[in-house]
Every structure is written in C-alpha cells, then in structure tokens.
Amino acid sequence: MSQRTILVVGGTSGIGLEIAKEVVARGDNVILTGRDQERAEAVAASVGPNAQGLAVDISEPEAIAEALKPVGEVHGLVLAAIERDANTVREYDIARARRLVTLKLVGYTETVHALLDRLPASRETGIVLFGGRAKDAPYPGSTTVATINGGVEGLTHSMALELAPMRVNGLHPGIIGDSPFWADKPAAVEAYESRTPGGALATMADIVGATMFLLDNQGVSGTSLYVDRGWRLT
C-alpha cells in the first residue's frame, strides 16, 4: 500500500497524540490538530518529519472549513478531540453543555463535511469518531457526556449510510488506566480494575490498536467498537 495521509483531530495530547505517533511509525503521514498553531507545530516536530501540525478548533464550527483549507487529500480521519465535563441536571450549566454538544456533534460533522472533497470515495477511506462508555454507563455528572456519546453512535450510523463506500465507525473507550487523566488517580483506577474481568483496565495501546483496525479494515462500517476489556459486562 502506498503512503497515506491520516488527519487526527485532537492529536496534540493524550490518545490522539499516541495515534499520530503510530501513524508515522507505520510509514504514513499524519496531520495532527489542536487549538493552537504553535503548539500543534511543536508537537508535530516531536513526532517526526512525516507529521504536520495545524490549528483547528472544532468547538467553533463556522471556522472549521477555513482552518482546514491547507489540508490536501486525506485517506483516513480520526476525530479524537474531547473535553471532560461534569454537569448534572440539578446544577445544569447551559454554556458548558452547549460547548460540548457543539464540539462533539456539530464539530465532528462539520469537519467531515469540510473535507468531503479531499476524502476519496472508497472503502479504503476510514473515518473514526471517538465517543465513550458513558453513553451506556452514566455516572453522577455525566449528563452531557452520556448524551453526546449516544449522539456519536447515531452520527456513526447516519454517516456510514450517507458516505458509503467510505467507512465510518465509532470507538468507545472505557476507563483507560494509563492515560494522562487517570495516571494520578490510583485509587480510582484500582476500584475500576476490581470491576473489570481479568483485573486490568484497557490501555492507550489498546485504543491505538483499535483505531488502526477501524481505519484499515475494509469490511467494517457503521459499527460501535467498545474498548474496555469487558468492563461493560460487570
């Protein structure tokens, strides 16, 4: 297979960055995005010469098309940009809820829309939308997160239908024990591990591997893939 270009939205840190590193490690080009151009360029430089950094803020959907103008043909798209939010019905913060809904549903959709003329209409083109397990396993404060991750599943189905033969899949991680967010929360990690079959949480490497599978496997589309080592079963 010839060298491809993969765009990773939310690729300057966390899981998005690990995905960008893997894309380059396997010999492809990556464009990684973050909100700040200088930071995106610095992170890209640390990934390697086949990485490019670009400022794109998907919480501002009206500006996405303009921000993506420098991007050429893209053979795969990973929408991994997330924000964490604690919002309850009793103490509902409308502004925070609106921002998160806009980022993950409107922002994801507009990113794909803006790139349609650069995404080859082929089964080789894979799009991965990041959701999360809160849609099925809500917790106190997950009102908005649970809702939008359920929306990601619906968005996955509608995009897979509308954009075929391109493939669109959702990836829904559980608790990722070695992620930056959980690294300094050993007590919480231990509690979740005790509820996970096998006694160990999914890792960043698990998420990266699942993402590559969804980008590459031409037989999979319209699927929601859970990566939680069976935690949802308990």
* pLDDT one-digit tens code per residue, 199-232: 888 899 999 999 999 999 999 999 999 998 887 7
pLDDT at position 138 is 73
Report how far residue 19's alpha carbon sits from residue 212's, in angstroms, rounded to the nearest whole number.
8
Average pLDDT over residues 46-63: 97
The set of residues, in sequence order, having a beta carbon less than 8 Å from that of 181 and lying 6+ positions away, is 14, 84
Q: Average pLDDT over the chain, rounded to whole?
A: 92
Per the DSSP assignment, residues forming a β-bridge with 111 are none
The answer to whether residue 36 scores a pLDDT higher than 90 is: yes
Long-range contacts, stretch 37-42, CB < 8 angstroms, 24+ apart = 39/12, 40/11, 40/12
The answer to whether residue 185 scores a pLDDT higher than 80 is: no
Q: Residue 57: pLDDT band by 50, 70, 90 thresholds? A: very high
Q: Residue 35: pLDDT band by 50, 70, 90 thresholds? A: very high
pLDDT at position 143 is 84
> Contact, 30 vs 8, CB < 8 A?
yes
The answer to whether residue 1 scores a pLDDT higher than 70 is: no
Q: Is the pTM of this model over 0.85?
A: yes
Long-range contacts, stretch 158-162, CB < 8 angstroms, 24+ apart = 159/109, 159/112, 159/127, 159/129, 160/221, 160/222, 161/222
Domains within the chain, CATH numbers bracketed: 5-233 (3.40.50.720)
pLDDT at position 41 is 98
Report how far residue 227's alpha carbon sits from residue 196's, in angstroms, rounded to the nearest whole number.
12
Average pLDDT over residues 133-146: 80
